[in-house]
Amino acid sequence: MAANLKAYFKERIIESIATLSSQVFPQVVKVILEQQTGERFELRGQTVTGEPVGYTLDANSKHFEKVF
């Protein structure tokens, strides 16, 4: 893939992620982390209104080997 085309797609992805709501962002990042690491992660949780509990992304692997 040409460098300028690769840069274009990266910019589009970053712009798309920046527009995600706080309810959707943790779920999207969880999928990305799972794809990159090959491990499953569990989100810490959400409030009744769908806002994440804790920081922007609180996730951990099954036995807490990896925590984000």
3-state secondary structure of 67: strand
Kind of pairing between the strands at 59-61 and 41-43: antiparallel
Q: Is 45 helix (H, G, I), strand (E, B) or coil?
A: coil
Q: What number is the average pLDDT over the span 42-47?
A: 71
Query: How is residue 28 written in tokens?
Result: 């999207």
pLDDT > 90 fraction of the chain, expressed in percent and rounded: 12
pTM for the model stands at: 0.56
Chain Cα centroid distance, residue 33: 6
Condensed to tens digits (0 to 9), the pLDDT of residues 20-38 reads 877 787 788 888 888 988 8
SS3 helix, strand, coil % of the chain, rounded to 5? 45, 15, 45
Between residues 10 and 52, which one has the greater pLDDT? 10
